[in-house]
Amino acid sequence: GAVVSQHPSRVICKSGTSVKIECRSLDFQATTMFWYRQFPKQSLMLMATSNEGSKATYEQGVEKDKFLINHASLTLSTLTVTSAHPEDSSFYICSACGTRSTDTQYFGPGTRLTVL
Amino acid sequence: AQSVTQPDIHITVSEGASLELRCNYSYGATPYLFWYVQSPGQGLQLLLKYFSGDTLVQGIKGFEAEFKRSQSSFNLRKPSVHWSDAAEYFCAVGAKGNAGKSTFGDGTTLTVKP
């Protein structure tokens, strides 16, 4: 139980294009999902908290117009990197908390984004 | 403010040897503590968590961790390491009801020698 998937697992795009990453909770409903960014050999940095049916809450320093988050259902949240640039290249990981408990988050496998 | 320190950036152990990964935290209230494992190019898998109760917590894959409030520590242990345990390990501290606001340590890379 508590499986979270991400799609795509890796994506390569040209500078200036937009990329959408999906995060799905497969066997549970998630009212809250989180988006992280991880640089090589570093820890996770929380980018934003995504709540179903409401606007995402962004951490300080994260551009909300750059990283668009939509949480349209209890099982799906999307992160769109708009007008991507090489410095946006990173490993993006989502996590989800179930409706019964927000004490534990379950992580997706991550998406490797490379912007050329 | 909450913080997590994992003093060891890289640890190498022989297969079959015991393992202890250190984690020290700073948190103003009762902490929720987690250990995660990350294989290369993968997301994080929860190994175990401590919320309250017995300070010795058992997790998956034969791991355990002990919460020591007096030392602000939550060290991860395994009596006999397997080659498949080679990975990155993260300790995290969070708040009740707000797992996403967890603070992660910088991680410890475990290498297992044959």
Of B49, B90, B99, nearest to A102 by CB-CB distance is B99
Asked whether residue B100 carries a pLDDT value surpassing 80, the answer given is no
Asked whether residue B97 carries a pLDDT value surpassing 80, the answer given is no
pLDDT given for residue B40 in this prediction: 84
Asked whether residue B99 carries a pLDDT value surpassing 80, the answer given is no
Average pLDDT, chain B: 92
B89 to chain A, any CB pair closer than 8 A? The answer is no
Q: What does the pLDDT look like over B3-32, one tens digit per residue? A: 999 999 999 999 999 999 999 999 877 889
Q: What does the pLDDT look like over A5-28, one tens digit per residue? A: 999 999 999 999 999 999 999 988
User: Among A31, A60, A23, which Cα is nearest to B97's?
Assistant: A31
B45 to chain A, any CB pair closer than 8 A? The answer is yes
Question: Mean per-residue pLDDT for A92-112?
Answer: 87
* A56/B100 Cα distance (integer angstroms): 13
B98 to chain A, any CB pair closer than 8 A? The answer is yes
* Number of neighbouring beta carbons within 10 Å of residue A45: 16
* A97/A31 Cα distance (integer angstroms): 7
User: Which amino acid does the sequence have at A106?
Assistant: Y
* B77/B66 Cα distance (integer angstroms): 8
Please say whether the beta carbons of A92 and A21 come within 8 A: yes
Of B27-31, B35-39, B66-70, the least confident: B27-31
pLDDT given for residue A41 in this prediction: 79
pLDDT more than 90, % of chain B: 76
User: Among A87, A22, A84, which Cα is nearest to A50's?
Assistant: A22
Q: What does the pLDDT look like over A41-100, one tens digit per residue? A: 788 899 999 888 888 999 999 999 999 999 888 999 999 999 999 999 999 999 998 777
Q: Which two tokens stand for residue B80?
A: 């006999």
DSSP secondary structure of chain A = ---EEEE-SEEEE-TT--EEEEEEESSS-EEEEEEEEE-TTS-EEEEEEEETTS--EEPTT--TTTEEEEEEETTEEEEEE-S--GGG-EEEEEEEEESS-SS--EE---EEEEE-
User: Which amino acid does the sequence have at B65?
Assistant: A
Would you give the DSSP letter of residue B108?
A: E
pLDDT given for residue B58 in this prediction: 97
B60/chain A closest Cα distance in angstroms? 14
Which residues 32-61 in chain A show a CB within 8 A of chain B?
32, 34, 42-44, 46, 49
Q: Which residue has the tokens 């603070």?
A: B103
pLDDT given for residue B28 in this prediction: 79
Pairing label, strands A76-81, B108-113: unpaired
